[in-house]
Each structure stands twice: as structure tokens, then as C-alpha cells.
Structure 1
């Protein structure tokens, strides 16, 4: 009898066409679910008979309570090699192996710059006016050349964002708790000794930090008020790094000129969520990693994870720190 495998949150219905699943077809029946299951009971009903589940990033959290309700689950595969929404200790207690996949860092870098450019040149507003017969030119864009790009985090993604900023002729500076002047200098990036100074002196602030105890709520109302009223905030990292209510207040109150946001506490956003209507927020539905090459890599590796698990030699296993 074949094992059952559920692929969750396949919004674009591409999971089964993005990789060759025939290599596990003799042993596994695979079902893809396009709709999100925000209700825990509905999720359990949909996947309760599955031994294998493939999840997309952090769209569907797997806390301890969910593992307890899925006694048949034996293999959980997450796209990427880090997923803060999976309780790895609970998985181990319930005998569930958790595996990951490779993930490219280039797509979130590219989306970061799409948001920066969209904000700086008011692209959505101008494009909408052009299509709707509105005014021909109603905004004045912000020059990037000569302005300061402030990076919260100078890791793999932050470094690539910095190089593009330098190509635009921006003054690129960075801060994080672990960043050293030597590390910043090696990338040709200015070292700023405090978060407060970075916020106060930057024209664009872009977030590229890992979510953890030290970074959760890193930017709240006091920090957002330190930013220039002409500055933009961009977050393609994790929603919880920026206090969402404070960001909404900042946008309504004109503390900052605008924000480009790809990550939200609530995903998908509810129809009445204020972020859907704030005119100075350029929002995208968590598209940072959503590219064809990344999806092909995710699901190719997911098939390999299943094959290796069935052979008794699981690969890319995630364990609790």
C-alpha cells in the first residue's frame, strides 16, 4: 500500500509540474493543496492520513500541538533549510523526521530592489494613473544616487543588496549586533555603531536579519519615529522584526514616506487588514522566494528527500539547536 503525501500551500498549482515526482510514484501518492488551511481542524482533516507532508516556507506552522494530532506523520519537508515555524523538538518526540531543501538567495535580493525602485519612483501610482486615464505625471521621484542605503543585517542577502546599492551610487551603511567594522569594510560598506544612528541617517532602510529573540520587535514605534519623514522602510525578511501596528501608525502619521513590505504577521492578509488600503505601503504577498528556479529546486529536493527517507538514509535533516 502506498504512502500518502500532501503538498501544502501550492497557491500557483505548480508543485507537481516543477519537478519529476515519478521517482517516488511507485511508493507514494502525492496530493497538492492550493488553498491555505488557516483553521487547524480543517488542516488536520485534510492531511491526517498522510505519512509525508511538504510545506512551503513558513506559510503553515507546525507547532507541538499539530504534531500531536498527526500520529501517522513520519516525514515533514520544508522548503529551505531554516523554518522557525516548525517545532523541531516536538517533531523528534513524535518520531517525525524533518528535512529541508536548498534555497537561492538571489530572488529576495531582486524583490528587495523591485520594492525600493517602486517606492522611489512611485511606480504603482504612476502606472495606475496611466492605465486609468489619470494625470500624466503627478509625482516627483527620489534619486537613489548619493542617498544613504541603511542595511539592518549584512549577511548573505544583505551583502548582495549592498552591492546593487553601490552600483546605483548610493552610500551604503550597515548595522547589526554582530557586525564588525572589519566585516563591513571588506564589503565596502560603512559601519554604523548603533541601530539608532542607522535609522536617523538613512534615506532607505532595508531589513535583512534572521528572526530570533534579539530581533523580534527590533523596530517599534520609537525606532520608526527616528527615521526621516522622507525615508522608506523595506522589509523582505520576517514580519515580526517590525512591529506591524507601529508600522501602520508610522504610515498613517507620516513618520516615514512609505514602506515596501513582502512579509506579514498574518498571511494571507485578511480582507479588512489595514495594510491592504494604506496608500504609502507598497505590498507584495510574500513573493521574495517565489521564482521558477527556486520552485524547481524546492520540489526537486523534496523528491530527493522522500527518496532518501524511503531508502533509510534521510538527507538535509533539520534538528533542534
Structure 2
């Protein structure tokens, strides 16, 4: 019996060469593309029974042109790039990988926070530039160094990643509080007003788009830090740039932006005390290995007639 046809639309970020596709290739006849421009999706997927995508969008119009398609596997947790209602209407199963990156993303939150408070990278760069060798003193620092113990960590969202970040915060001696959908606007406002660090861990929905905007930024303490490793459009980015430059908050660290890759003239590039990393919180070798394994097992489960991690 011939294997089903499977096309990976954008496999490079998951596997730039250090992982193996072999377990997936044992299940299906695979064609693996590093990247797929939007205009080539239909051509590449025309005969595919199974498609795997990370960030390549699959709209209702695109799905209508893929008559052989039975399955979409998302190489990520978020699946907003797929019209899941249209897929359901066409009888196409959509599965994601929900938990592979929890520890890695939580770890990155603290990598960003420690850089905001301890400025390790900044000071290491001055040593490489020779400043310590030229120093009249045995020690120097260019910025205030902030201890985390006793600070209040406000988490917007209490899912797996939010809870893991909370555990790490407590290990540093931080007080932890949450704002959740159930708590509503009053709880959110309280967390924004009273937290020294605010970290976003909520999904992107119509209700959370631009959740952090000019009005909510005015609630933050002048010494507060904002961290986003969730979804870029949770933040009104021009409003954040203006708030940082006006000193309404002490700093921000972002691993996600509303448009990725971002434009060359993005307003946050030049904003005061703003750190940006290129959406890599999820990308530790351990997390990508788990992602590859679960994505493969999702395909295996579908092919045996018992799909798991179905989102539509």
C-alpha cells in the first residue's frame, strides 16, 4: 500500500538541519520545503493529503483549492494562521502541538528579565571593549542593578506557561499575581498598577488584541518592566514606544512583534530601554525535539483513525 502524500510548507525554523525528518518520512511520502511563499501554497500542496505548516497561512480560499487535503498539522501551539472553521467545513482535521515549549519559553522570560535588571550583556560588551582593563577600580556598573526578590510579578494569563513563569518567579523570591479572563478588566487594572514586572501569557483573540495600549500603559508604575513572549499584537507597539520614550515605564523586553519579520523602521528599535529578540523563546534544541516528536505522533494518530490534539 502506498504511503499518503505529505508536504511540509515551512520546515526550516523547526529543523534547520540539526534534527531528523526520518520518523515522519516513515509514515508518509514527504516533500519538505524550508519556506513557501503564499503564492506557491496551492501549487505545492495541490496533491497533498497531509500538510504541515508553522507560519505559512492557510485561508479558506486556499483550502478550497486543495481538494486532496485531509489533515493539517501545525508545527506550533498557536493555530491562528489557519481558518479552522473552513477546514472543519471541508472535513479537514487540524492538530497542533500544545505543550512542547513551556519550559523553554518560561526560561526565556527570565533571560529577558535578568537582562533588563542585571544588564549582563551590556556589561560583558564593555569588558570586551577593554573598559575593565582600563578601569581605575576593581568594579564598575553603568546602570542600576535590580534584585528580583521582593518584587511583584504580574502575569496576564494563567495557563501552562504563565504558571511555569510563576514558579520561577517564586524561586527568585518574587510575589506573584495573575490577571485572567475570568477576573475581567478590574483585575487586569489592579495587576498593571501594582506589579513591578508584567509578563504576557494570554492567547491572541479579538478581546486581547492591543490589550496593552496607551490607556493600559498609563497604569504601570514608572519603574515597571513589561515582557511579551506570547503574541505580538497583544501590544500597541507605537504606544509602547511612546511610553518608553516618555519614561512611563522602566523598560520592555519582547520576543514577538505584530509583524514578523518586522519592518526596518520599527518604532521599538530606537525606543528607550527596549530589548527585542527574534521570536526564539520556543527554539531550544530540547523544545524543537519535542515539537518534532509530537508533530510526528499527531500524524501517526490521524493515520490510525484516532487523531489527538485536534483544534477544530
TM-score range, shorter chain: 0.7 to 0.9
Choose which of 255, 267, 276 in structure 2 pairs with 1:274. 267
In the alignment, structure 1 residue 84 sits paired with structure 2 residue 84: no
Choose which of 13, 16, 20 in structure 2 pairs with 1:13. 16
> Are 2:238 and 2:268, in contact at CA under 8 Å, matched by a contact in 1?
no
In the alignment, structure 1 residue 209 sits paired with structure 2 residue 198: no
The alignment's TM-score, normalised by the length of structure 1, stands at 0.82
1:151 partner SS: strand
* Per-residue Cα deviation, 1:126-162 (whole angstroms, up to 9, x for no partner): 2332233457531221221122211222232222212
Shift of 1:246: 1.4
Q: d(CA) in 2 for partners of 1:15 and 1:310?
A: 27
Instruction: Give the structure 1 partner of residue 136 of structure 2.
Output: none
Change in 2 beyond 3 A, CA 1:319/1:116: closer
In the alignment, structure 1 residue 52 sits paired with structure 2 residue 50: yes
Q: d(CA) in 2 for partners of 1:208 and 1:319?
A: 19
> Are 1:53 and 1:75, in contact at CA under 8 Å, matched by a contact in 2?
yes
Please, which runs of 5 or more residues in structure 2 have no aligned partner? 133-139
Instruction: Give the structure 2 partner of residue 131 of structure 1.
Output: 128
Choose which of 250, 254, 257 in structure 2 pairs with 1:261. 254
Shift of 1:233: 0.1
1:177 partner SS: coil
Change in 2 beyond 3 A, CA 1:214/1:18: same
Choose which of 10, 22, 26 in structure 2 pairs with 1:23. 26
Q: How big is the alpha-carbon RMSD for the aligned residues of Structure 1 and Structure 2?
A: 2.7
Q: d(CA) in 2 for partners of 1:277 and 1:221?
A: 18
Q: d(CA) in 2 for partners of 1:146 and 1:301?
A: 39
Choose which of 88, 95, 109 in structure 2 pairs with 1:112. 109
Aligned residues: 301
Q: d(CA) in 1 for partners of 2:158 and 2:311?
A: 25
Choose which of 76, 90, 100 in structure 1 pairs with 2:96. 100
* Per-residue Cα deviation, 1:185-241 (whole angstroms, up to 9, x for no partner): xxxxxxx95322221222111112222233222211011122122211001112222
Shift of 1:276: 3.5
1:237 partner SS: coil
Deviates more, 1:291-300 or 1:114-123: 291-300
Change in 2 beyond 3 A, CA 1:202/1:302: closer
Instruction: Give the structure 1 partner of residue 33 of structure 2.
Output: 32
> Are 1:19 and 1:300, in contact at CA under 8 Å, matched by a contact in 2?
no
> Are 1:251 and 1:258, in contact at CA under 8 Å, matched by a contact in 2?
yes
Instruction: Give the structure 1 partner of residue 137 of structure 2.
Output: none
